[in-house]
Amino acid sequence: MKRVLITGAAGFLGSHLCDRFIAEGYRVVGMDNLLTGNIKNIEHLFPLKEFEYYHHDVSKFVHVPGDLDYILHFASPASPIDYLKMPIQTLKVGSLGTHNLLGLAKEKKARILVASTSEVYGDPTVHPQPEEYWGNVNPVGPRGVYDEAKRFMESITMAYHNFHGVDTRIIRIFNTYGPRMRLDDGRALPAFMSQALTGQDLTVFGDGSQTRSFCYVSDLVDGIYRLLLSDYHLPVNVGNPAEISLKEFAEEILALTGSKQKIIYQPLPKDDPKQRKPDITKARELLGWAPKVDRKEGLKITYEYFKQALNK
């Protein structure tokens, strides 16, 4: 059985990746310091002999005994609420954490996939965003701690690939949603859903004309899996190109939840991207990947999860 290390294993995406790799017949080593992850997301895996867990901060030296075939680096605060509260940790996990895991990949002769983000494009001046676009990022703005941590992550990953011959993959993840998102995550979907479910008005920042593209988690995990097993080492966008304005999205959530609340508007945060839509030509051509779950279907499943989470 091949063995894979997944950092950020107790997080939203990391926990779904643990499930997928165990289902595919891998032995999974999960690693998380639980800064933003939740052990409940992976508790169901603890009885399995194919799963082991390390409570560890990857920005400190990382040692995993035994062979490793693959490393997936998904440790990082990922919502604006988190990285504005934890700017130093966000920068450290993207820089020192990535450095430590690339060193581990070199030592173990393992292939490593790092989780980058559409945020490397900043507030884009090119639409939709292809991988060749270099971005429009404010390095000293409040969001810079996340954007630049991920941009550095890509740079050091390419340096290890080119200088040390480490087998690397880089994924640029666009907005993703589904079960195991935190209700207090601060991103649009959990914010809208929790507001609708608790009888609060839905908060839209700016005039609501800014756009996002939402990909259901199972589609994203499939894209990650395919990229890991591909032969392509340059960045690849994975996301759903079905673009929607945040005002329309809030209206969709109100209709889905049957909420009688209204939409209220607040000032747009500094450097908030006005538009976000992936060009997924590379993912289609190189990985044979395209999203399958449409938003209506994905939102229904996510709504049921949030209802249960609130009741608990």
Catalytic residues: 146
DSSP H or E segment with residue 3: strand 3-7
CA separation for the pair 66, 3 (Å, rounded)? 9
CA separation for the pair 251, 262 (Å, rounded)? 9
Cα(first)–Cα(last) distance of the chain, in Å? 37
Residue 54: closest CA among 63, 127, 201: 63
Q: Is the peptide bond before 190 cis (omega within 30 degrees of 0)?
A: no
Q: What are phi and psi of 43, to 5 degrees?
A: -55, -35
| Residue 47 structure tokens | 């009885």
Judge contact between 128 and 278, C-beta under 8 A: yes
Work out the widest C-alpha separation in the chain, in whole angstroms.
58
